[in-house]
Amino acid sequence: MNEYALVTGASRGIGRAVAERLAEDGFKVIINYHHNIDAAESTKAAIEAKGGYAELLPFDVSDGGAIETALTQWEAAHEGEHISVLVNNAGIRRDGLMVFMSEDDWHNVMRTTTEGFYFITRHVLSGMLRARKGRIVNITSVSGISGLPGQVNYSAAKAALIGATKALSKEVAARKVTVNAVAPGFIATDMTADLEEAELKKTIPAGRFGQPEEVASLVSFLCSDQAAYITGQVIAIAGGMG
Ligand code: NAP
């Protein structure tokens, strides 16, 4: 396969597992990250150790200008190529009760999710539409479906991503581009490392946190040819939560 897959936030956690899995599936993987170059290099090395192809493309997904610059430079360096698979995965949480929520915590969480989706997707979509083939997977959260206390910013951002997924899927289905959302529950990554796992597990019907590789399997399927007729869906992977 000679197709490129861009995974945002692929230096760690779910994004890393998705990048490794898509490389195993035969995609040339573009690893986006923000600050953590050591972790990004480690993802790249893991892919290469298994015979896959990976390259690094750092940019801040909350910065539209940085996104445009990075993607334009990528295209200049890869003449005639385009990105066939986009996984909008990078995300942050800044939890706190609404009455105490700072404007920074509101805007940073919203921007990281929604600006990233808007600028990156708009940019790579034209190549997919021309090729009449493409896969976009947006990593949302059960928090964006049910809403969780202490996460008004995060729930709002992830719910916005669900609306965008559904609307865009209808715009581009005729051009054989699918757009789906994956909604994890609690997954064991750096993002959840500060949570009380022993207590939270009691609220999960499956009785455990999920693993990043389990989310990656679902993303892999949605990016495959077998998933060509699935679009505009929100698929929870949450051990029965939500
Ligand atoms: P994580 O372990 O904290 O990793 C976050 C990744 O996103 C890192 O690669 C980080 O890059 C990157 N990132 C953060 N801000 C960025 C920015 N402004 N620009 C570019 N990259 C940025 O998170 P995770 O648990 O794997 O979560 C991945 C996605 O799944 C997120 O959207 C999250 O909301 C969603 N999710 C997670 C869970 C869960 O339980 N873990 C549940 C539901 C949904 P650096 O390494 O450079 O910082």
- pLDDT of 242 above 90: no
Nearest CA, atom 46, ligand 1: 36
The string of pLDDT tens digits covering residues 131-167 is: 999 999 999 999 999 999 999 999 999 999 999 999 9
Contact between residue 32 and residue 6 where contact means Cβ atoms under 8 Å apart: yes
Q: State the chain's mean pLDDT as an integer.
A: 97
Does some domain include residue 204?
A: no
Q: Identify which of 137, 150, 152, 140 has the alpha carbon closest to the alpha carbon of residue 187.
A: 140
Task: Tell how far the Cα of 89 is from the centroid of ligand 1, in angstroms.
Answer: 7
Query: b/e for 54-85, b at 16 or more Cβ within 10 A?
Result: beebebbbbbbeebeebbeebbeeeeeebbbb
Contacts of 53 (CB under 8 A, 6+ apart): 23, 28, 29, 47
Nearest CA, atom 33, ligand 1: 91
Task: Tell how far the Cα of 130 is from the centroid of ligand 1, in angstroms.
Answer: 30
Band the pLDDT of 65: cuts 50, 70, 90.
very high
* pTM for the predicted model, two decimal places: 0.98
The string of pLDDT tens digits covering residues 91-108 is: 999 999 999 999 999 999
Q: Which residue of 191, 201, 215 sits with most ligand 1 atoms within 8 Å of its CB, as the best mutation to test the pocket?
A: 191
Q: Is 183 left (phi over 0), alpha (psi -120 to 50) or beta?
A: beta
**Bridge-partner residues for 55, per DSSP?**
30
Does some domain include residue 194?
A: no
What is the strand order of the sheet 134-139 is part of? 53-56, 28-31, 4-7, 83-88, 134-139, 177-184, 234-237
Does some domain include residue 200?
A: no
Ligand 1 site, CB within 6 A: 8-9, 11-15, 32-36, 39, 60-62, 89-92, 112, 139, 141, 184, 186-187, 189-192
Contact between residue 93 and residue 184 where contact means Cβ atoms under 8 Å apart: no
How many domains are contained in the chain?
Answer: 1
Does some domain include residue 23?
A: yes
Domain range holding 62?
Answer: 4-185+212-237
The string of pLDDT tens digits covering residues 167-187 is: 999 999 999 999 999 999 999
Does some domain include residue 199?
A: no
Residue 106's CATH number: 3.40.50.720
Band the pLDDT of 220: cuts 50, 70, 90.
very high
Contact between residue 16 and residue 187 where contact means Cβ atoms under 8 Å apart: no
Mean pLDDT of 229-234: 98
Task: Tell how far the Cα of 123 is from the centroid of ligand 1, in angstroms.
Answer: 21
Band the pLDDT of 2: cuts 50, 70, 90.
confident
Residue 16's pLDDT is 98
Contact between residue 59 and residue 94 where contact means Cβ atoms under 8 Å apart: no
Residue 10's pLDDT is 98
* 154 part of the active site: yes
Please tell me the distance from the alpha carbon of residue 92 to that of residue 199, in angstroms, as a whole number: 22
Contact between residue 4 and residue 30 where contact means Cβ atoms under 8 Å apart: yes
